[in-house]
């Protein structure tokens, strides 16, 4: 093997090592990014029978308007199927949806609270 062939042979092996190192770094970066994403996911997606849930309306995404709520409900969970399917019902009937389109319903704001209003100008005159 001549000197030029030997140099070319070593350069090819260095290039292959660099490629393998870059591939490994890329794989580790993707793993770390996935861990960060999974840690920041919101909500508990474990539903039980009797839970109140909201359903995401994907068709509302096509209608312009920032103030429209894309969640409808509340619905009651009637059955939990394997592989993420959830049976829900409301006054119109029962149907099955993907669990990714649901989130837990927390409740309505309390409207019966008594609020005392104090005006600052009446306090400063005293």
Query: How high is the pLDDT of residue 50?
Result: 92
Alpha carbon distance 104, 44 (integer Å): 8
Q: For residue 90, what is the domain's CATH number? A: 2.30.30.140
The domain of 91 spans 52-104
pLDDT (average), residues 36-49 = 78
Mean pLDDT of all residues belonging to the chain? 83
Is the Cβ–Cβ distance between 56 and 102 less than 8 Å?
Answer: yes
**Higher confidence at residue 17 or residue 123?**
17
Q: Please tell me which residue, 106 or 123, carries the higher pLDDT value.
A: 106
The answer to whether position 113 is within a domain reads: no
Q: Say yes or no: 65 and 29 in one domain.
A: no
Q: Which residue has the higher pLDDT, 35 or 125?
A: 35
pLDDT digits (tens, 9 = 90+) for 97-111: 998 899 889 876 666
Shared domain for 75 and 97, answered yes or no, is yes
- Quick one: 12 and 36 in the same domain? yes
35 and 11, same domain (yes or no): yes
Is residue 115 one of the residues assigned to a domain?
no
Contact by Cβ (8 Å): 77, 101? no
Of 17-21, 36-40, 118-122, which range is least confident? Answer: 118-122
Give the range with max mean pLDDT: 11-15, 40-44, 60-64, 68-72.
11-15
Q: Based on the structure, what is the number of domains in the chain?
A: 2
For the ranges 33-42, 49-58, 71-80, which has the lowest average pLDDT? 33-42
Residue 86, classified by CB atoms within 10 Å of its CB into exposed (0-12), middle (13-18) or buried (19+), is buried
Residue with tokens 């919101």: 42
64 and 27 inside one domain: no
Q: What is the pLDDT of residue 112?
A: 64
């Amino acid at each position: 093997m001549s000197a030029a062939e030997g140099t070319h042979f070593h350069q090819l092996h260095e290039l292959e090592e660099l490629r393998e190192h870059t591939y490994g770094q890329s794989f580790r970066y993707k793993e770390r990014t996935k861990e960060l994403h999974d840690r920041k996911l919101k909500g508990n997606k474990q539903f039980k029978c009797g839970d109140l849930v909201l359903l995401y309306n994907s068709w509302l995404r096509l209608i312009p308007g920032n103030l429209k709520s894309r969640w409808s409900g509340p619905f009651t969970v009637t059955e939990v199927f394997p592989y993420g399917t959830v049976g829900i019902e409301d006054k119109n009937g029962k149907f099955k949806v993907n669990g990714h389109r649901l989130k837990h319903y927390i409740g309505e704001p309390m409207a019966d609270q008594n609020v005392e209003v104090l005006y600052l100008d009446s306090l400063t005159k005293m």
